[in-house]
Amino acid sequence: MNDKKQQRKYLGAIYTHASMAPVLKANPKYCIHKFLGITCYISYDDIVDLKFRIRARPMGQYNSFDAQPREIIAEYTSLKSLVNDGWCLA
């Protein structure tokens, strides 16, 4: 699932329906040093609040409605800018 238009469509549906805290593939721009080997995701609370924040959680911890106040890796003003920066669903 590499096409940016498809990514915006699928992520947009997740935001519209507040259906989960989506896990994202590691972005090589950001997933280095302290963010190496973590799981990238968008918090459920950020989905509900229409915020475009990529957060880090320890590898292996999974919760499809994760709303923990975890560290922010990157933040965007729109879904388009998030996808254009290289983030995509896992």
Give pLDDT tens digits for 25-36.
999 999 999 999
Model confidence at 1: pLDDT above 60: no
Distance CA 44, CA 19 (A): 8
Question: Residue 48 above 60 pLDDT?
Answer: yes
Say if residues 82 and 54 touch (Cβ distance below 8 Å). yes
What is the sign, positive or negative, of the torsion defined by CA atoms of 84, 21, 40, 54? positive
C-alpha 50/C-alpha 85 separation (Å) is 18
Q: Which tens digit of pLDDT belongs to each residue from 62-81? A: 777 888 889 999 999 999 99
Average pLDDT over residues 20-47: 94
Query: For the stretch 10-35, what's the b/e string if a residue is b when 16 or more beta carbons lie within 10 angstroms of its beta carbon?
Result: ebeebbeeeeebbebebbeebbeeeb
